[in-house]
Amino acid sequence: MRVLAAMSGGVDSAVAAARAVAAGYDVTGVHLALARNPQTYRTGARGCCTLEDSRDARRAADVIGIPFYVWDMADRFHADVVDDFVAEYAAGRTPNPCLRCNEKIKFAAVLDRAVALGFDAVVTGHHARLGPDGLLRRSVDVAKDQSYVLAVLTREQLDRSIFPLGDSTKAEVRAEAARRGLAVADKPDSHDICFIADGDTRGFLAQRLGEAPGDVVDALTGGVVGSHSGAYQYTVGQRRGLHLDRPAPDGRPRYVLSITPKTNTVTVGPAEALEVAQVRATRPVWTGGDRPAAPIECEVQLRAHGDVVPATVELTADGLRADLRRPARGVAAGQAIVAYRPDPAGDVVLGSATITG
């Protein structure tokens, strides 16, 4: 079986490629060049997709003993991830660029090209599991589990995916890398957004969207309590950086409750006003079995590192609705809602959708 190992230059993808070789697959490594100008992307411990990552991936491939190539996907990445990121913020939503990268780049563009070149599957270093039944499950390492950002994959994509690390903790992966002589064994994990070099998301968006002054309004009084230079600088649930002119009458902190691009208004209010009991979403992808014809009881995760909430989920004519049995706070449009079924072998991903409100 010929497989393509996506090698980011980190320890996870290197060990995943090595395990694929040990499992008897015919493995070829590929690194994705995603930056039009690599100097504008993050480097060091907080980066990914940089020139140093490409070199680390090549060295790992040499140690493992597999062919290695670099694929230039910078234009596709810019259109499907970077431009999408900016457009989502402009529309008052809070996107997850890593989720979009998995969906559009690693498991669409890469997999499509791999199949066209005669490969049978793509191997990645994601911490998630695919059992003999083909169902996507959480990793045994809950702290590193990445099933949330993989839940957007279709059944066809999962059928051509291999995740060798799902049964290991991150500590075990690093120890194995050291035993195999991989120099990336102690390389820090990447964090934050790879295409924002200095980590200043507000500044990055301001350069592309420009200043757009507007009002910050108190939800309880309807009064203007501050101003902003661009509603895209805010996300639902945000508390810090509001710079309000007037404190709340009761002295309690205010949070961002909603963002309305049409009126360029940011609405703030007390923490309890963030609570929602129902979530609606669009673009559902259902991979954990037959699409349910009736409401099902499951658990849902509303953010990449958010709490799991019991819910009743129903697929509707225009998407998905989840009635939460425990109110959730800070649910932002643009994020994903992922439905899980508790299972002794590991929680099963049933499906996902994009939150609209």
pLDDT in tens, 300-351: 999 988 889 999 999 999 899 999 999 999 899 999 999 999 998 889 999 9
Q: Looking at residue 49, what is its pLDDT?
A: 64
- How do residues 48-87 score in pLDDT, each as one tens digit? 667 788 899 999 999 999 999 999 998 999 999 999 999 9
Residue 127: DSSP 8-state: S
Catalytic residue among 48, 98, 194, 298: 194
CATH class of 212-269: mainly beta
CATH domain 275-355 topology: Elongation Factor Tu (Ef-tu); domain 3 (2.40.30)
Measured CA angle at 61 (ends 56, 64), to 5 deg: 125
In the chain, domain spans: 2-125+164-180, 212-269, 275-355
Catalytic residue among 48, 49, 98, 101: 101
Do the beta carbons of residue 23 and residue 164 sit within 8 Å? yes
**Longest pairwise C-alpha distance within the chain:** 67
Residues 309-321 as b/e (b if ≥16 CB within 10 A, e otherwise) read: bebebebeeebbb
Q: Looking at residue 51, what is its pLDDT?
A: 75
CATH domain 2-125+164-180 topology: Rossmann fold (3.40.50)
Q: What pTM was computed for the model?
A: 0.91
Told to judge if 101 belongs to the known catalytic residues of this protein, a careful annotator would answer yes
Q: H/E element holding 284?
A: strand 276-286
Q: Looking at residue 37, what is its pLDDT?
A: 67
pLDDT greater than 80 at residue 41:
no
Residue 230: DSSP 8-state: -
Strand-pair partners of 224:
217
Binding residue positions for ATP:
6-13, 32, 125
State the Cα–Cα distance between residues 79 and 323, nearest whole angstrom. 34
Told to judge if 49 belongs to the known catalytic residues of this protein, a careful annotator would answer no
Q: Looking at residue 39, what is its pLDDT?
A: 55
